[in-house]
Amino acid sequence: MTQAAEVLLPSSPAEAAEAFGDGKGVTVIGGGTIVLPELTYGRLRPKKAILLARAGLAGLTRSGSTVTIGGATPLTELVGLDSPVGPCAANVADGELRGQATLGGNLCAGAGPEAPRGDLQGALLAVGASVRSTGSGGESTLPIDEFLEGRGNRLVLAVSYEEPAAGAFVALDRPHTHEYTALAVSAARLADGSIRLAATGAGGHGRRLPSAEAAAGDPAAAGEAALADVKPHDDALASAWYRQQTLPVLVRRALTMLEEAA
Amino acid sequence: MKLTVNGIEREIESPPLTPLLFVLREELEVTSPKAGCQQGGCGACTVLVDGDPRRSCLTAVAAVAGAEITTAEGIGAPEELAPVQQAFTHHYAAQCGFCTAGMLVAAHAYVEGGGTDDRHAISEALAGHVCRCTGYVKIIDAVAAAARGDSFDLAVTAEGQYTTMQSGGGS
Amino acid sequence: MKAVGARLPRYDGVAHVTGRTVFVDDVRIPGTLWVKALRSPAHHADVKGLDVRKAESAKGVHAVITWKDVPLLEYGHLSALGIPADEPLLAKDDVRYKGQPIALVAAEDEETALEAVEAIELDLEEKPALFDVRKAFDADAPRVHHWGNWYPHFEAEMDRRQIRKGDVDRAFDEADAIVQGVYRPAAIEHVPLETQVCQVVPEPNGRLTIYSCTQALYFSLGVVAAHLQVPLNKLKLVGGTVGGGFGGKVDTATETMCSLLALKSGRPVKWRWTREEEFLCSSTRAPWHMEIADAVSKDGWILGRKMLTLHDSGGYARFSPYGLTKHSFHHTGAYTIPNLSFDGYVVFTNRVPTTAMRGFGVTSVSFATETHMSRIADVLGLDPFEVRLRNANRIGDTSPNGVVYTDPSTVPTIQAIAEHLGHELSADYRTMTNAKREGELLPEHLVAQLGNPEDH
């Protein structure tokens, strides 16, 4: 495996932000579940690496109905949250990996070479989360929709959202826990009654399904409408064709579950 | 940095991003965790970090500095096998043995953490572990037996047979 | 016979559960070098240039080997069974599958070895590749192998494994129906938890100690000795502790190359394949293409079978002719079919060469035959258990290759399955045995096809 020239272990969020700077040429290691194999196989040779193990960025707090999750919180701590976030986290890998993989790492994961990554992007899009991050220009808080576009050069400090009135998470079955999820849909009915839908594995990073949201009153119609919002791809897990067949089904199921949760 | 491995404090020389698997196997010559895939997909590298099962191939050693690491060598010895080790022996839960160290420490953590003999719960706990030899049934049998607190007489009689298993109280 | 039926402790049981079993990768010899391979990035190409000088002179590199370092470059592992050599240990003039090893490096550590591999200059001229066994026979198909696109060295230099028995044309004339099926099981990767791994130590007395994960110690000993052109007693193989093989660790894929590196560097060397190498470059169970046409009577007798098998051997022959031969012997499965026309080809493609995996050659044809029996029952509207029992092997029947059955188990096995599943068989089928056919039990189409062929 390869070694970075400089390895930093910040012991506070402020130190972590300072070490990260503008993010250029920095490799951030949360749980290491994505980065370590890249180092082992010689595909990543970082000049500077930051280990977040002691940076004080882990932890989940509640204030009223607001949930705030530190960027380096292991996914296992999210498993008990309400749908869609809880079930989405529970569907990632297996218990050992969830004990180590972080929310920030999941959000910032680029597309995998053979499979989509970043399942939590979908659930957090559905609940309308906001992401507090640091990087070039200092700290900022952005709605997750906007954050995801520029996530490559940001260090996630915390994610927060209002617990929805109801939520649903539906995914294609994984043959084994070491498989990534080929396609998943998250749905949430917010406190104001509006419905948000998002998908992961439908091409690129997690994205909203506005055409399906507009037709949310009719789950079957919304399912078909969702196809206009995505450009699915072929990869080792599933073909674009297969994703096009199954996305409407997942959307319909998610919306039906939301209705039943009323 | 320091690591306690199977109860013994060790000084670690390897660079900070070295996977814990490599530190254990190459620097410390603790070879029970295996390099099955080195990408977190098989569970053969799993060790306990402060009692929690983690993939050592995915763990940068600096991230666990100061932790207590436990491997299959450390949960019991031939003269005094831990309950899961006895159960694995009695139930023939190991064939080639390559997945066994990882399975065992995960099973040990499960049982120590109060896991029951519910087969679904055991499957969930060991979900990250691949075995190509046994078909998993005997592994789950063994973990269930350990979770129940079954006791085993592993002595071989003059006829070359195990004496029959007796159900015992909890451990 | 105290052991049969007894619960015995595994001799390695306590070692396994205490993490003390020593697999090849657990062996620790001071001064061991790490090995990495340069593998073909192309499926099919001519090697125009290979320059290892930058790798050889890199700091921390102790040896680099190419085909030039191999005393006997091509050795047929099953030459004792008449299968000639065709595969260079390290690629020389061409590469025939993606991942084929071209050069190996032994260095102080894994990273140095990886960088040295990257420094090797390789010049390939890519050629069209062949992946579909059905296209191998086209006049304009890419030519994969110097023998042509299928193996031509069966006995009497036949280019296929051929079985002819009885009069299959007459069977097809007399049939009430012809039932056809095409069966194409895909390749299967063994996925042993332990990847291919080998450690070789040059001993002061001039011998080599080879720690191997092979499933076949003596076999691999012979292969290494042949490539190295040394007497057997120059090599000491240490093994028997295998982290899963399932047929995939018989190819002697690492031992010879590591031996050459140990000799050239004068140091112990270890080569452990990554999981990616294991998936992409290690041999798999072969994909098969099987076409079956059975001539059947309306009461369920199989009068005759015509079968074509294409066995995908990948880029080289390895054990495939042997696998196909076993396949041909078993192509009627647990059943006796008196009139046969079987043709099987070992076809070369630009895939990773295929090898044995649990039931080598026979698993594929069992799948095809059993599925076909059910298909026959379906076409004829008959009970699938009874179709099987009707055609089941009996004492005195002969296999496709003329072996006389002395006590075949088809009948009691199928009866036991039916009982276990609660499937009711009609009286005749419930009480039948595997006794030799005679009198009423010997239908006309089977007369003169059974028993010892020399009796007829």
- Measured CA to CA in angstroms, residue C282 lies from A147, C95, C286, C354 at distances of 43, 15, 12, 9
Q: Using CB atoms, pick whichever of B37, B99, B160 lies closest to residue C6.
A: B160
CA distance C217 to C327: 25
Query: Could you tell me the end-to-end alpha-carbon distance of chain A, in angstroms, rounded to an integer?
Result: 52
Q: Is C15 on the interface with B (CB under 8 A)?
A: yes
Which tokens go with A32?
């290491």
pLDDT band at C405 (very low <50, low <70, confident <90, very high): very high
Q: How far apart are CA B48 and CA B35, in angstroms?
A: 16
Give me the torsion for CA of A8, A11, A17, A18, rounded to 10°. Answer: -60
What is the C-alpha to C-alpha distance for residues A40 and B38, in angstroms, rounded to an integer? 7
CB within 8 Å: C111 and A41: no
How far is Cα C23 from Cα C10, in angstroms, rounded to an integer? 17
Specify the range with the lowest mean pLDDT, choosing from A139-148, A226-235, B145-154, C232-241.
Answer: B145-154
Q: Which residues of C touch B27 (CB under 8 A)?
A: none
C358 touches chain B (CB under 8 A): no
Cβ-based contacts of A41 with chain C (< 8 Å) = 274, 276
**3-state SS, residue B156:** strand
Q: Does C4 touch chain B (CB under 8 A)?
A: no
B143 vs chain A: nearest CA distance in angstroms? Answer: 17
Give the model confidence (pLDDT) of A110-127 as tens digits: 877 778 899 999 999 999
- Candidates B22, B125, B130; nearest CB to A95: B125
pLDDT computed for residue C440 by the predictor: 63
> The tokens 């006309």 sit on which residue?
C444
What span, in angstroms and rounded, lies between the C-alpha atoms of B103 and C17?
A: 10
Cα–Cα distance measured from residue C345 to residue C160, given in angstroms and rounded to the nearest whole number:
5
**Of B18, B52, B62, which is closest to A99 when you measure between CB atoms?**
B52
pLDDT score for B155: 65
Rounded Cα distance between C406 and C397, Å, is: 8
Q: Report residue A217's pLDDT band, with 50, 70 and 90 as the boundaries.
A: very high
Are the beta carbons of B78 and C18 separated by less than 8 Å?
yes
Kindly determine whether residue B132 and residue C25, on different chains, have CB atoms separated by under 8 Å: no
Check CB contact under 8 Å for A7 and B52: no
- Residue A250 pLDDT greater than 90, yes or no: yes
pLDDT at C137: 97
Predicted confidence band of residue C124 (pLDDT cuts 50, 70, 90) = very high
Q: What is the pLDDT of residue C97?
A: 98
Which residues in chain C have Cβ-Cβ distances shorter than 8 Å to A42?
Answer: 111, 114
* Mean pLDDT of the region C180-186: 97
For residue A2, the chain C residues in CB contact (below 8 A) are 111
Taking CA–CA distances from C115, the nearest residue in chain A reads: A42
Q: Nearest by CB to B97, from C9, C21, C195: name it.
A: C21
Please tell me the predicted confidence (pLDDT) of residue A5: 79
- Asked if residue C69 lies in contact with residue C150, where contact means CB atoms within 8 angstroms, the answer is no
pLDDT at position A149 is 86
Q: Residue C193 is nearest to which of B29, B42, B88, comparing CB atoms?
A: B42
Q: Residue C8 has what DSSP assignment?
A: -
Contact B58 A32 (CB under 8 A): yes
What's the rounded Cα separation, in Å, for the pair A151 and A133? 9
Kindly state whether C191 is in contact with chain B, defined as any CB-CB distance less than 8 angstroms. yes
Q: Is A150 on the interface with B (CB under 8 A)?
A: no
Query: Looking at CA atoms only, how far is residue C451 from chain A in angstroms?
Result: 49
Interchain contact A76–B (C-beta under 8 A): no
Look at residue C407 in the predicted model and tell me its pLDDT: 96
Q: Which residues of C touch B85 (CB under 8 A)?
A: 17-18
Alpha carbon C293 to chain centroid, angstroms:
25
Give strand pairing partners of C295. Answer: C178, C304
DSSP 8-class letter at C63: E
* C443 band by pLDDT with thresholds 50, 70 and 90: confident
Distance from CA of B109 to the nearest CA of C (A): 15
Contact between chains at C110 and A41 (C-beta distance less than 8 A): no
Please indicate if any CB of chain B lies within 8 Å of the CB of A36: yes
* pLDDT tens, residue by residue, A175-186: 899 899 999 999
Verify whether the Cβ–Cβ distance A29 to B63 is below 8 Å.
yes
Mutate to test the interface with B, among C2, C10, C14, C18 (most CBs of B within 10 A): C18
Residue B158 has a pLDDT of: 37
Q: What region does A93 belong to: left with phi over 0, alpha with psi -120 to 50, or beta? A: left
What average pLDDT is seen over chain A?
95
Span A28-83, pLDDT tens digits = 999 999 999 999 998 898 999 999 999 999 999 999 999 999 999 999 999 999 99
**pLDDT at position C222 over 80:** yes
Q: Do B34 and C23 touch (CB under 8 A)?
A: yes
Q: Is the peptide bond before A84 cis (omega within 30 degrees of 0)?
A: yes
Q: Which residue of C has its CA nearest to A1?
A: C111
C-beta atoms surrounding C440 within 10 Å: 6
Hey, of A40, A77, A102, A180, which one would you mutate to test binding to chain B, going by the most B CBs within 10 A of its CB? A40
Which of A7, A36, A52, A79 is the mutation pick for testing B, counting most B CBs within 10 A? A36
Maximal C-alpha separation, chain C: 83
Q: What is the mean pLDDT of chain C?
A: 95
| A-chain residues near C274 (CB < 8 A) | 41
Q: In C342-368, which positions are buried (b, 16+ CB within 10 angstroms) versus exposed (e)?
A: bbbbbbbbbbbbbbbbebbbbbbbebb
**Token code pair at residue B36:** 């099955």
CB C89 within 8 A of CB C71: no
Q: Are strands A48-51 and A6-8 parallel, antiparallel or unpaired?
A: parallel
Query: Chains near A, with 3+ CB pairs < 8 A?
Result: B, C
B72 chain-C contacts, CB cut-off 8 A: 17-19
- C-beta atoms of B127 and A94 within 8 A: yes
C349-379 pLDDT, tens digit per residue, is 999 999 999 999 999 999 999 999 999 999 9
Going by their DSSP bridges, the two strands A66-70 and A154-162 should be labelled as: antiparallel
ipTM rounded to 2 decimals: 0.93
The pLDDT assigned to C450 comes to: 57
pLDDT band of residue B161 (cuts 50, 70, 90) is very low
Evaluate if residue C210 carries a pLDDT over 80.
yes
The answer, for C110 touching chain A at a CB cutoff of 8 Å, is: yes
- Determine whether the interchain pair B53/A99 forms a contact, defined as Cβ–Cβ distance below 8 Å: yes
Please answer yes or no on whether A178 and B128 come within 8 Å at the CB atom.
yes
User: Rounded to an integer, what distance in angstroms lies between the CA atom of residue B102 and that of residue B71?
Assistant: 8
C41 at interface of B, judged by CB pairs closer than 8 A: no
Question: Of A9, A36, A93, which has the smallest distance from its Cβ to B19's Cβ?
Answer: A36
Which tokens sit at C362?
Answer: 């026979």
pLDDT score at C53: 98
Average pLDDT over residues C418-443: 89
Å between A57 CA and nearest CA of chain B: 14
Q: Which residues of B touch A3 (CB under 8 A)?
A: 15, 17-18
> pLDDT tens digits, residue range C53-81?
999 999 999 999 999 999 999 999 999 88
Which chain C residues in 266-305 lie under 8 Å from chain A, judged by CB atoms?
274, 276
Rounded CA-CA distance B67/B148 in Å is 30
Query: What is the C-alpha separation between A32 and B59, in angstroms, rounded?
Result: 6
Question: Smallest Cα–Cα separation from C344: which of C326, C356, C360?
Answer: C326
Q: B162 vs C9: CB contact, 8 Å cut-off?
A: yes
Q: Is C111 on the interface with A (CB under 8 A)?
A: yes
CA angle B115, B121, B125 (to 5 degrees): 80
Search chain B and give the residue with CA nearest C3.
B160
Q: Is the dihedral of CA A6, A9, A15, A16 positive or negative?
A: positive
B85 and C243 within 8 Å at the Cβ level: the answer is no
Rg (alpha carbons) of chain B, rounded to whole number: 16
Q: Which of residues 178-237 of A touch B (CB under 8 A)?
A: 178
Instruction: Inspect the interface and report whether the beta carbons of A42 and C114 lie closer than 8 Å.
Output: yes
Closest CA of chain C from A1, distance in Å: 6
pLDDT tens, residue by residue, C161-170:
999 999 999 9
| pLDDT score recorded for residue B162 | 43
Best of A94, A117, A176 to disrupt the B interface (most B CBs within 10 Å) is A94
pLDDT tens-digit series, residues B33-57:
999 999 999 999 999 999 999 999 9
State the pairing for strand pair C197-202/C45-51: unpaired
Amino acid at C174: E
Confidence of residue A3 (pLDDT cuts 50, 70, 90): low
Give the chain B residue whose CA is nearest to the CA of A37: B39
Q: Quick one: average pLDDT of C8-23?
A: 92
Q: Is C167 helix (H, G, I), strand (E, B) or coil?
A: coil
